Structure formats: structure tokens, C-alpha cells
Copies of this chain bind each other. A is one copy, B any other.
Amino acid sequence: MKQPPTRKGRMAGPSASSEAFSPLYRQIKVLITQDMQSGVWKPGEVIPSEFELAERFKVSQGTVRKAIDELAAENLVVRRQGKGTFVATHTEQTTRYRFLRLAADDGSGRGLERRLLECRRMRASVDVAHALELKGGDPVVFVRRLLLDLQQPVVLDEIWLPGRLFKDLSAQRLAEYKGPMYALFEAAFGVQMLRAEEKIRAVAATPTAAEWLAVAPGAPLLSVERRSLTYGERPVELRRGLYRTDAHHYRNELN
């Protein structure tokens, strides 16, 4: 408000030195993110109004606004005119299948049925540990499940989660919970999936995969390997999905 930021800005911490220039609104974005990460405002809750945050941080409303603009662009928050700004959540209808790019070829309805096949604790293999930035042998939770559309199996998912973050996760817990899996993770374990990277390949169905998905062994399947990240780019899920694409497809938008 008084002295504009030079090189580092007036909000520079005690460790200030030769770091890159960071505008005020970006520093404020970090502060807001920290409060979300530490649970001051939980998924689905409102955050303070732009004017209140502006006063708190001693900047103008426009600066706070620009910070929130970026958070909204990254889907960390959702703005609702007249109501407020809310921490993003996987719970709501509109954002439920935010990460699922599968669509029926005929554009037909949603509402996939879930069938839990397996949930157990195990030790991370080398590649799973690597993907989750754990040490080999660290405890992980392993989940296997099936997604069906109109009784037809469509997706076979294998999921690995860091054991330390998902202590009480059990088959019963998963089976009982009605909403999407990520909503449970948010509510019960405080783990928010913010972003993910996927690697997609075509593979031949192994005998066991073929059985679960009701296709012939060797049939082509889409292999979707997802790494989900939370605050600070920390990986918190590895998921390998096998998709039947005879009546569905993976849709993507390029910009």
C-alpha cells in the first residue's frame, strides 16, 4: 500500500536474498494457499471476502482479486457471485468426476456403478514407491475395483496410496461410503487431490484383466496411469486403470 515491491516486495520474509521477483498478488496467493492446506478453511467452505482479505493483508481488493483469479484458474477455489469464494471439493455434483475423462460413445448417461474387489495393506514395490516418492518397502494401501456402466464392466482400477496418510482406510470404509472416492479422502483423511498427470497407452489384456472386464485375453485395452498430487506437488495416489474402449472413449481437449 505504501512502498511497492522491489525485487522481492514488502512481504519478503527474513530469508530474503537473491530470489526471483515475485509480485504482491503471488505472495498473497501463497498465503491463502497455506491457510487452505493447513485446514483453516476446509473443502466446500467459504473463504473470507476479497475486502476482508485485502484488509488483513494490507493491500487493495484488486490485488487480492488477482491472487484468487489464479487460484480459481487452477481449480483450487470456486467463485460464486453474490455468495463468496469456496475451497474446491470433489463432493459436489458438478465436480464429482473431475478427473475421469471416460465418456460413452453414444453420449449416454453417467452414474457408473462401483464394485470393490480388494483392499489391503502391503509394502510398496520399487516402481510404486518411486511414483509416490516413498522408500521401497514403505507401507501402502492397495485397492482394486471395477466400474460398470449398465452392468457392463468398463474400468478396472488398481490404486496405491501412501500408508501413513490413509491409516484407517479399509474395505468396509470404502464400501460404506456413497460418494466418490476422492470425496472420502477429503473428508476422512484430509487429503485433497488438486491435480494429476496421466500416461496413456494401449495394452493387451492379461488373462486376469480380461476376466474382470469380460473381454478376450489379448484384447486391446487403454492403460491409464495416473499420479495425483496435493499441495506442494506432493504425490498422494498412483492409479493404474484399464479401460474397455469398445463403447467408451477417453476424451481430451487441446488448447
**A residues in contact (CB < 8 Å) with B:** 73-75, 98-99, 101, 195-204, 218-223, 226, 243, 245, 249-255
Copies of the chain in the assembly: 2
Closest-by-CB residue of B relative to A225 is B249
A251 to B200, CA, bound (A): 6
Asked if residues A197 and B250 are in contact (CB atoms below 8 Å), the reply is no
CA A201 – CA B249 in complex, angstroms? 6
Q: Choose one: B198, B202, B249; the contact of A220 (CB below 8 Å).
A: B202
Tell whether A99 pairs with B250 under 8 Å between CB atoms, given A202-B203, A221-B202.
Answer: no
- Given known A202-B203, A249-B200, contact A195–B254 (CB-CB < 8 A): yes
CB of A197 within 8 A of CB of B249, answer no
With a cutoff of 8 Å between Cβ atoms, the chain B residues found around residue A201 in the complex are: 222, 245, 249-250
Minimum CB distance partner of A246 in chain B: B201
Q: How far apart are the CA atoms of A200 and B250 in the complex, in Å?
A: 5
Tell me whether A221 and B220 are in contact (CB under 8 A).
yes
In the assembled complex, the CB of A239 is this many whole angstroms from the nearest CB of chain B, namely 11
Q: State the CA gap A218–B203 with chains docked (Å).
A: 11
Residues of B within 8 A of A221 (CB): 202, 220
From B195, B200, B254, A99 is in contact (CB under 8 Å) with B254
**Residues of the B chain whose Cβ atoms lie less than 8 Å from the Cβ of A251:** 197-200
Please tell me if the beta carbons of A253 and B203 are within 8 angstroms of each other in the complex.
no
Give the residues in chain B near A223, CB-CB below 8 Å.
202
Min CB–CB distance A255 → chain B (angstroms): 5
Given contacts A73-B73, A75-B255, A254-B196, contact A202 B218 (CB under 8 A): no
- Distance between Cα atoms of A218 and B245 in the complex (Å): 15
7 contacts between A and B (CB under 8 A): A101-B252, A101-B254, A199-B249, A199-B252, A202-B221, A222-B222, A252-B252
Complex alpha-carbon distance, A81 and B222, angstroms: 42
4 tightest Cβ-Cβ pairs between the two chains A and B: A201-B245, A220-B220, A202-B220, A202-B202
